[in-house]
């Protein structure tokens, strides 16, 4: 069933602050989740390109988009943000116990499907569609920021990426043809991860339209996903968000389950292993199967707990 999950009786949710920019696909995953769960949230716009001093004041180094902030806790990476929102907002879980592989499929979409779309959309006709209105200077600034950012990701030619996408889309079409309304049966995180990537593809102009046209069930499913909308967002400045962190009373409870070479209170760096490797440093205050948490202090944000997913991040003792 592709219905928004019913909201259970539960205490009023805390103030959710999403730091994002409009064009970010990973932020779109989270915005659609917020829409699906009919959430009210605060929207902080972050610049698409470096420098991002107000982001770094919260994270201490990590620069990727989006971030979720609740008080003086900040969650990095949409895979972890999705779990926090699922818990925070209640209703039927988007990580259903009956579909244990939904999160694995979501991870595949966030990596393999995502980079196939990015590389397909690097062909001249797509670039002209997406960036044709920009000046040469603006285009060069985007390339100068993003080329080193993604340098560690293997690159496909647009043609090879198109061939991969045709296969992936055919698989999804067949899955939806076999009586499923959603990617895994019931609505799950896999739908949101595939939806944000196809959202980006559908904005890539005529070559993408041509590629997608035969996949009618995929397009219908995607339209249903987009119909969730974004919930109720209210703008907040990044200065206000930093003040919110500085004034927060305490942090989310967390503790360290020791791992070899990692113990409570030790100074560590945490960095993404795939791309965008900028590390955050701090005191290890939380570690479990799902997340690693460091505590760090900033003159403007105060003492912040920064949470990263355990999967896909390298923890290095100082
Ligand atoms: N695995 C990360 C990927 C995030 C990501 O690559 N975000 C892009 C924007 S969609 C980004 O950070 N680009 C560089 C930037 O915004 O500085 C997640 O799920 O949040």
Tell me which DSSP letter residue 232 carries.
Answer: E
Q: Is residue 144 assigned to a domain?
A: yes
Give the pLDDT confidence score for residue 10 in this predicted structure. Answer: 56
Residues of the chain with pLDDT under 70: 1-12
CA angle 101, 104, 105 (to 5 degrees): 90
**Residue 297: other Cβ atoms inside 10 A:** 11
Q: Within 10 A of 289 (CB to CB), how many other CB atoms are there?
A: 7
Token pair for 24 = 């970010």
Q: Which domain, by its residues, includes 198?
A: 102-226
Query: Domain for residue 248, yes or no?
Result: no
Instruction: Give domain status of residue 254, yes or no.
Output: no
* Contact 110 CB / ligand 1 (< 6 Å): yes
**270 CB neighbour count, 10 Å cutoff:** 26
Tokens encoding 194: 């595939």
Rounded distance from Cα 294 to ligand 1 centre (Å): 20
Q: State the total domains in the chain.
A: 1
181 falls within a domain: yes
The rounded Å distance from CA 10 to ligand 1 centre is 32
Sheet holding 67-70, edge to edge: 232-235, 40-45, 17-20, 67-70, 73-76, 302-309, 291-298, 280-287, 267-272, 313-317
Question: Is residue 46 a part of any domain in this protein?
Answer: no
Residues 119, 156 contacting (CB under 8 angstroms): yes
Does the N-terminal peptide bond of residue 66 adopt cis geometry, omega within 30 degrees of 0? yes
Whichever domain contains 142, its CATH number is 1.20.1050.10
pLDDT of residue 179: 87
Residue of the CA atom closest to atom 10 of ligand 1:
24
Interhelix angle 124-131/136-149, rounded to 10 degrees, is: 120
- Total count of residues recorded for the chain: 318
pLDDT for the residue 13: 72
Residue 249: inside a domain = no
Residue 176, CA distances (Å) to 49, 120, 217, 312 in order = 37, 23, 6, 30
Q: State which ligand 1 atom lies nearest to the alpha carbon of 79.
A: 19
The answer to whether residue 194 is domain-embedded is yes
143 within a domain of the structure (yes/no)? yes
The predicted model scores a pTM of 0.96
**How far is residue 65's CA from residue 117's CA, in Å, rounded to a whole number?**
18
Cα(67) to ligand 1 centroid in Å equals 9
């Amino acid at each position: 069933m592709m219905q928004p999950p019913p909201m259970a009786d539960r205490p009023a949710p805390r103030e959710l602050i999403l730091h994002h920019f409009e064009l970010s696909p990973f932020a779109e995953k989270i915005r659609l989740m917020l829409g699906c769960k009919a959430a009210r949230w605060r929207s902080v716009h972050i610049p698409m390109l470096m420098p991002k001093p107000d982001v770094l004041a919260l994270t201490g180094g990590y620069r990727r988009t989006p971030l979720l902030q609740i008080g003086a806790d900040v969650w990095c990476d949409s895979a972890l943000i999705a779990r926090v929102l699922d818990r925070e907002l209640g209703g039927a879980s988007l990580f259903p116990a009956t579909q244990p592989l939904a999160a694995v499929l979501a991870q595949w979409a966030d990596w393999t499907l995502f980079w196939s779309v990015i590389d397909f959309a690097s062909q001249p006709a797509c670039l002209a569609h997406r960036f044709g209105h920009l000046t040469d200077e603006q285009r060069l600034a985007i390339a100068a920021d993003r080329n080193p950012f993604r340098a560690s990701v293997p690159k496909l030619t647009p043609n090879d990426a198109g061939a991969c996408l045709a296969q992936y889309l055919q698989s999804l079409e067949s899955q939806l043809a076999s009586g499923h309304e959603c990617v895994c049966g019931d609505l799950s995180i896999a739908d949101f991860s595939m939806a944000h990537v196809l959202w980006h593809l559908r904005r890539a102009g005529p070559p993408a339209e041509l590629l997608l046209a035969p996949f009618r069930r995929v397009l219908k499913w995607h339209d249903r996903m987009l119909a969730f909308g974004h919930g109720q967002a209210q703008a907040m400045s990044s200065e206000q968000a930093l003040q919110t962190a500085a004034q927060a009373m305490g942090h989310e409870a967390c503790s360290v389950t020791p791992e070899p070479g990692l113990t409570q209170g030790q100074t560590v760096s945490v960095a993404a292993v795939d791309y965008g490797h900028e590390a955050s440093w701090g005191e290890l205050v939380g570690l479990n199967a799902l997340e690693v948490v460091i505590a760090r202090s900033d003159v403007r944000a105060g003492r912040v707990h920064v949470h990263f997913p355990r999967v896909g991040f390298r923890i290095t003792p100082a």
